[in-house]
Amino acid sequence: MNGLLKDARDLAAGLRKELGDNAGGPEVLVCPPFLALEAVHQILAGSPIRLGAQDVHWEAKGAFTGEVSPAMLQEVGVAAVIVGHSERRHVMGETNEMVNRKLKACLAANLQPILCIGELLEERNMGVTREVVERQISKGLDGLTPDEVARLVLAYEPVWAIGTGKTATPRQAEEVHHYVRKLITQRAGEAVGQGIRILYGGSVSPDNVKELMAEEDIDGALVGGASLKVDSFVKIARYKS
Q: Which of 18, 85, 94, 148 is catalytic?
A: 85
Residue 208 backbone phi and psi in degrees, to 5: -120, -5
CA 201-16-203 angle, 5° bins: 15
User: Catalytic site residue 122?
Assistant: no
User: Catalytic site residue 57?
Assistant: no
Q: How far is CA 158 from CA 75, 85, 113, 170, in A?
A: 33, 11, 19, 12
d(CA 93, CA 188): 28
Q: CA 144, 150, 151, 156: dihedral to nearest 10 degrees?
A: 90
How many beta carbons lie within 10 A of that of residue 141, not counting itself? Answer: 23
Q: Which of 18, 94, 119, 157 is catalytic?
A: 157
Q: Which residues are designated catalytic?
A: 85, 157
